[in-house]
Amino acid sequence: MPITADPALDESVQTALTACGVTPSMLGGDHEVTTPLTGQTVASVNMASVDDVSAAIERADVAFRTWRDVPAPERGQVVKRWGELLTEHKVDLAVLVQAEAGKVTSEALGEVQEMIDICDFALGQSRMLYGRTMPSERPGHRLMETWHPIGVVGVISAFNFPVAVYSWNTALALVAGNTVVWKPSPATALCSLATDALLARAIAECGAPSDIHQLVITNPESAAPILDDPRVALVSATGSTRMGKEVSPRVAARFGRYLLELGGNNAAIVTPSADLDLALRGIAFAAVGTAGQRCTTMRRLIVHESIADDLVERLISAYGTLTIGDPRDEKTLVGPLINEASFTAMQDSLDQARAEGGKVITGGRRVLADENPGAYFVEPAIVRMPRQSQVVHTETFAPILYVMTYSSLDEALEMHNAVPQGLSASIFTQDITEAEIFLSARGSDCGISNVNIGTSGAEIGGAFGGEKETGGGRESGSDAWKAYMRRATNTINYSGELPLAQGVEFL
């Protein structure tokens, strides 16, 4: 297995893989997995072909015929055991998340904790797949709804949350009685192998059908059957808006379902009444956490003109204290970008911002290049922008915070809602009227809207997702389980008569 020039990294990765149940036979192949910590190869894996993907769908479809008839609370036991194994191997899996996605230690551990949390949630949900009983207009009749599994669920996940968002889908899909075919980002293949191995162990220990979960590490071209095969009842895809525009029409063409979690271009409004110390902490984490590579990263800051200069100076000071570097160091707060392409995109956006009258007031430079020539560590950037500009309408997956000013709340809301994305939003205010307006129909048009916290850091208890070009999908908590099931309306006649609805008479 190819290794990096960092023996400590290689040893920790190999130890974590072994602990999670990944055997040497699962490694080695034509695809090299690199780490953003150094830019070097840490392992290689085989990439699935189109035929391999089709075969995985076939296995999952056959397994569904058995799995759908298993009582939901029994299905929940598989997810319960998976959660126990994730708890046992939390540090091991976090090591792999860190090595492949570049997250600082607390964020890598937090991602695995999200998996554990959704397993807990899904276990409870397995006893609460509720339908309703409605009053019938006909005597001696009962009207009700029931919920049933839909079949094979295809899950396409992204590099930035290589295991958490996938688990939101998988835990709920499994307790709903579906089977899963998972296509992760090839950039995070090792996380995927380890996660699949732990789930396979849970499935075996619970005596469930072995094929209810299928992992296919492959490129977008070879993953085509997930989009095109009618046996895949639902495609849940996380990624860019561009990707969503390719996925949705193909799945819709065969009348399949899709659940999209796409781009976010998230903003916070800071009002004159805001607690600026609180706002500063919320903005800093939301803007620079995961090196700006979250779909909920704060990318726009809309500040009242009376406090903008003060807040910006505070932010500049806070940014100056950020420790950038090896995410394995406990003091590090900002790790690397995923690759060179992300760094290039960041520089292009900063150039566009300058061309549109913006001023980069701090950050934007690559650092640590001499020590890590293959890695892309950057200083998070703050850019003062005019109120009217185009670059702020585009999501750049890097730590750039565009700062704009407003004079009235209506103006701030108009600026906030002007972008094509609609994922996460926040307002910092001590004025209850401003908070309520922000959360009302005339306020934020995002799927997630917060008061006095940042735009990132969602809990699994609430449904996660956004509107407009974010795709409209909902995952994780609340009633997101319904996306993985089909609803049937049932009428039971116990009257001995045959009255028709609406008073219709026939024969």
Report CA torsion sign: 474, 476, 479, 484. positive
Q: How far is CA 268 from CA 225, 257, 261, 299, 456, in A?
A: 40, 33, 20, 9, 11
CA proximity to 399, closest of 345, 469, 471: 345
As a whole number of angstroms, the distance between CA 40 and CA 17 comes to: 18
- Look up the pTM and report it: 0.96
Helices and strands (H, E) in the chain, number of each type? 14, 23
pLDDT for 2 equals 45
Q: For residue 138, which amino acid is it?
A: R
Q: Which H or E element spans position 165?
A: helix 164-175
pLDDT for 1 equals 42
Beta strands in 231-338 (DSSP E): 232-238, 257-261, 266-270, 298-304
Q: Which H or E element spans position 76?
A: helix 72-88
Q: Which residues contact 408 (CB under 8 A, 6 or more apart)?
A: none
Report CA torsion sign: 118, 124, 129, 133. negative
Cβ(494)–Cβ(140) below 8 Å: yes
Cβ(264)–Cβ(238) below 8 Å: no
Cβ(422)–Cβ(467) below 8 Å: yes
Assign 110 to helix, strand or coil: helix
Cβ(103)–Cβ(289) below 8 Å: no
**At what angle are helices 90-101 and 72-88 packed, to 10 degrees?**
70
Output the tens digit of pLDDT for each of the chain's 507 residues.
445 678 889 999 999 999 999 999 999 999 999 999 999 999 999 999 999 999 999 999 999 999 999 999 999 999 999 999 999 999 999 999 999 999 999 999 999 999 999 999 999 999 999 999 999 999 999 999 999 999 999 999 999 999 999 999 999 999 999 999 999 999 999 999 999 999 999 999 999 999 999 999 999 999 999 999 999 999 999 999 999 999 999 999 999 999 999 999 999 999 999 999 999 999 999 999 999 999 999 999 999 999 999 999 999 999 999 999 999 999 999 999 999 999 999 999 999 999 999 999 999 999 999 989 999 999 999 999 998 899 999 999 999 999 999 999 999 999 999 999 999 999 999 999 999 999 999 999 999 999 999 999 889 999 999 999 999 999 999 999 999 999 999 999 999 999 998 989 887
Q: Based on the number of CB atoms within 10 Å of its own CB, is 467 exposed (0-12), middle (13-18) or buried (19 or more)? A: middle
The token pair that represents 47 in the structure block: 């990439």
Architecture of domain 7-262+471-488: 3-Layer(aba) Sandwich (3.40)
Tell me the DSSP string of 130-154: ---EE--SSTTEEEEEEEEE-SEEE
Assign 441 to helix, strand or coil: coil
Q: What is the DSSP letter of 6?
A: -
Radius of gyration in angstroms for the set of CA atoms belonging to the chain, rounded to a whole number: 24
As a whole number of angstroms, the distance between CA 110 and CA 50 comes to: 34
The token pair that represents 249 in the structure block: 């029409």
Residues in the chain: 507
CATH number of 266-459: 3.40.309.10
Q: How far is CA 243 from CA 121, 237, 238, in A?
A: 29, 9, 9
As a whole number of angstroms, the distance between CA 429 and CA 269 comes to: 8
Q: For residue 479, which amino acid is it?
A: D
As a whole number of angstroms, the distance between CA 410 and CA 441 comes to: 13
Is 221 catalytic? The answer is no
Q: For residue 76, which amino acid is it?
A: G
Torsion of CA 356, 357, 361, 366, to 10 degrees: 30
- The domain segmentation of the chain, as residue ranges, is 7-262+471-488, 266-459
Cβ(51)–Cβ(168) below 8 Å: no
pLDDT for 3 equals 57
As a whole number of angstroms, the distance between CA 234 and CA 155 comes to: 8
Active site residue: 107, 261, 379, 395, which one? 261
Within 10 angstroms of residue 408's Cβ, the number of other Cβ atoms is: 9
